[in-house]
Structure 1
Amino acid sequence: MDDRQENARDSVRQLFDAVDAISVQGYDQERRVVYWNIGSERIYGYTAEEALGKRLEDLIIPESMRSGVVSAHESWVNKGLEIPASELILRSKSGEDVSVYSSHVMFRNARNEHEMYCIDVDLGDVKKAQHRAVSKEELLQSVFESIPDLFFLLAEDGSIIDYHAGDSRKLYVQYEDIVGKNMADLLPEEVSAKFKLFIAKAMVDNGFLSFEYYLDLPIGKAYFEARISHLPVQKQLMVIVRDITEAHEAAELIRKQAYFDSLTSIPNRFLSLDRLSQMIKEMDRSGEKAAVVFLDIDDFKKVNDSLGHEVGDKILVEAANRLNSAVRESDTVGRLGGDEFIVLLGSLAECFDAVEIVEKLLGVFREPFSIDGRELILTSSIGVAIFPDNGDNATDLLRNADAAMYQSKEQGRNTYSFFTKQMNEMILRRLAIEEQLYGALERNELEVYYQPKINVKDGKIVGAEALLRWHSPVMGPIAPDEFIPIAEHTGLIVPIGKYVLAHALGFLLEWGQAHRQEYTMAVNLSPRQFRDQDLVDFVKAALRTTNVTSDRLEFEITEGVLMVGQSSVDEVLTDLHALGVKLSMDDFGTGYSSLSYLRQYDFDLLKIDRSFVSGITTNKEDRDLVTATIAMAHSLNLQVVAEGVETAEQLTLLGELGCDVAQGYYFSKPVPAHEMINYQLLKPL
């Protein structure tokens, strides 16, 4: 209790100590007497010494009323159900009846405990009491003014009937008169929604509810606890609002000390490991990969020993800030202790996606650290473990990332290592491929190959699919499965895709003229190409330059393109369809939503994935799926292309099932243009 409250309470007690016509008793939450004025001695016959510490029901309550009084007091303390003022017949020390008019008030003391004060007027001497006593309203006002809480009496619709503000600065809206206004209209939207929710609950439960909220006041941000009690008989609600800013700030300080590093203010070891456990659960549900990165500042001990711990601390703070600037908003940078940091990278499509961020983490140390007028050159060693490849739990991932970090130390520091040798080799090869891919177009290392497509019914060649091949003078032949994802990741797929389209259409013109046939050409489009604003215009220009009609060009599109869900994808597909080119859904059956995409977009062809074609002669499930796919496609007026045909048995069965077009090694592997132009179908149908 602060000085103002103590002074107010003492003043009230001094007032009643001097007035013997009114009995004023104070009781704690166990109904034990804590205050007994001279008026109580006169009316009930007990001295203050005799009364203090005794229970209310043992002093002045008749036997027949005891259980009701105890129950009513407990309901007020626990449920907020106020005891109404009323005329009562109580008992004096001598056992005589005492007729009084009794009023009550309840508040919390400095220990946050309830205290109830009873003001009893002897009805046997009312006239005398009226001349000597202050009014009930004045008494209650004095009591209210000693309490800093905000009190609101509301109608059930939320409108304010009455209120008392011990400190008006804590009212969100400073109106001279807020009586009659709705409580919810005087508060910010989010807080207003909370009040509406808990008022509705209080009326349903007829109980005592509380919740917390904060307000931005002119005196600063303040946190409050609101307690709501429904008074069903009166059809009113009592709302008591208490300022809990100090308690909230103390709790926040404790939380920060428990979960955040005191030096760098980033998550400490405890919080970092908790977030790692949560990340593992999320990635396990989503099927994505994640990376645990251990980072250690090289030779940090030497810095501490030579320049002092104060300089070392400043380096750690700067390092934490730099690391945070290098990661995504969803990632976590934490300090495990000393100069060891942990970085958690979630939602990775593949392990290689971590490389770009890890390189940024390594790079944050390239700029010198400017500390107290000194420029310090520092490096770091990094170890990376991938979930679930290198472990499916926090313990294994931490251990393996730590081991990978020591691999970096052994390699000379200022580098990063992945946990397994195989993964390191894969990353190094991927980086080498990326390096060589830049300039591959200019060095004429890329070449378009073609695989023929055969009409299953008559055995005639109807067209081909354009497939890119790369022979690097430095690394040798590199498979499309390796370099296409890298081209996609780096954005090089855009100029490479234009190169493929231009060469494929040029060859289509030459091939058709050589055989006097209207062949078609299928070209793959990747997700990254759909973000190229020049794509549709480039297609138009390429068709115009080669004098190829648009209906002879097919674009094969995988479900990965459609799953991006961007409006740009819809616009490009619409523009291509309007241009007259054919759209083919590639790898049908390998995704989860292909059927919905067939309904959503204007496809002309459907391409059955090779994984199903390879099993149609030996696996009933594959055969049934291909049978259903062909029937469904034909019902939608789509042509069906089967890829990966390798045997005569597969081709025969596809013919029986009504498949339209086939391609695969049974006819020919992809070949360069000069072989394709002279290609003759040799395999029997």
Structure 2
Amino acid sequence: MARKQNTLNRKQRGMATLRTILLVFTGSLLVILLVAVFITSFGYFRNYVSDQLAGHARDGATAIGLSLSNAIDGRDPVASASLIDAVFDSGRYLSISYLNFQGEPIASRAMTLNEVRVPAWFRSLADLPLPVAEAEVVRGWSRLGTVQVISHPGRAYRDLWRITIGLTASTAVIGGMGLFALFVLLRRTLSPLHALEDQAQALGQRDFRKRVVIKSTREINRVTDAMNQMADDLGQLFEGQARLIQHLRRINNEDPVTGLASRSAFDQRLKVEVETEEKAAPGVLILIQLADFLGYNQAYGRDDADRLLLRVASVIADFVTLHSGAFAGRRTGAEFAIFLPAAMPTDAGVWCRDLVAELDGVYADLASTRETAVHAGLAKTRKGRGAKDLMAAADEALRNAQGGGESGCQLADPEKDGHHNLETWRVIISQAIRQQNLSLWLQPMVNESRLLPLYHQVFSRIESAEGPLKAGIFVPLAERFGLIADLDRLLVQRVLERLAKFPDRPLSISLGNASVADETFRSDLLAQLERAGSLAGNLWIGISELAIHHHRTAVGLLVRALGRLGVPVLVDRFGVGGVPFSYLRNLRFQGVRIDHSFVHNIDSHEDNRFYLESVVAIAHSRGVRVFATGVETAAEYSVLCELGIDGAMGYHLGRPFAADNQLTGE
């Protein structure tokens, strides 16, 4: 699509602009008119000079004839020659001849045209006629002969040359001033067209903010007003669609009282986080419940109970923002759930106790004299433990905590801690970065109408003594340790090296939230991509919707810089960030990648299906492509294809494979 657009732009640049056409056409008419006036004036002055030249010759012939007839005896050859010499020496005649009636010369003088002080080409162009003037010489009743005179055209050529120079100069000045005035007039009159062109291009890119404020002629002003009105209408339409899709997301995924994830949305996302092979990561699930909430509800009423839930949800939401990748939801009544990826049970226990203490304070303040308590149960993920088993373990720990009466936390099966603590993980990740121990695994993003994948999503692996560690395990930990930027630098380096070997096989990577927020990393990334040249156009860069929510300024700077380099950018994990969809109006993304949690069981989940249908329609209206992840069944893929998805990936469509084995993997 980008290549087609570039080709179209080149063709459009090759076409003449309206201003150029009008300037050439009107300017040509002006030049033709001035040339016609010049030619007419030149012809008139040439004829005038020619007439003057002929008149001078006639006057000279008459004067010499009369002199030879009266003052001098024309029969005397010596006297006649003296008269002709005297007249000829004035330099105003080319030739003077006195002939008898037999045509024999009695006296004659002549010269050449070499002494005419005008350019030879001009003399050839003007080519003044040299008429011969005649007069008879008589004595009494006797006819003695004929005088023939040709005037010298030198002065005539000089007069005509001066006139021509004046005509040329005046024509050039008038023509130049006319063309300049025409240029200024057309530029001023057509100036709104450039703004209209920019506005049309902005509308083509679904940017409805650009307005044309330049005024011109009445007709053009009407066009600009209509374009501005259309941009306003389209902008309002998009805002309405964005509000609609945000409303749908809230209805389908948010608890109406607290604004946290609903029970079904939380359970579905937890299932994806815990059970999806590529994303499965260590973490801790926390279940929190307010004791005797039913009694509080009966004592104070539903409105006060809702206010309590809202205060508790606000504290939990603040807690979640402190832990990268964490998410929370309300399950039922006064029971809440929090999942902390990349958390160790010991640390999670400390955080949980602090959180429970804060919630207990909030509950006690609002419950006044009533006895209050807040209990929490924790369970850690481990191999073979699915979402249901994890929830059951956390629920059992919650019941054990409630058995103690006082506010507190209880950890399920604490004796089964893994052998990797936080410091061990820090060493493993740091060592992998220093030794550049990072391998690439690829998963195809396919489209049913294409034989070859649109691109391959890149997943990273760290080789360890226990075998390859998946990105879902160590990336959340790297985010927590502040090592994600170094890890992403190494990932970009490896990906660009692969693109250099296989430039016709586009790749896609996802950047960590902390990397996007790091100014140094952004500068290094842009430098790497700039050095890669045209190869960078085959690398899709994914930015999490959570990063857009928490680092809007940094994301805006990065997206615009990547756009200038021709690097396509997409929104990763679309739908889980809770960000208003209107950011697509301000930031130019080429695609969005729907999170697993919205795709899972979409064939039987009507709410998510309707939500994705709306997302596809709005995204396509802005020229943004929509991709889906986590497609694990044929039924899910069939529904996505019906919705008009641009690409999908998942175990049903292709499992990840080592980049070094791409040929066999495909």
Length-normalised TM-score, structure 1: 0.39
Q: Which has the higher strand share?
A: 1
Structure number with the bigger relative contact order (C-alpha 8 A, sep ≥ 6) is 2
Q: Which has the higher helix share?
A: 2
Larger radius of gyration: 2
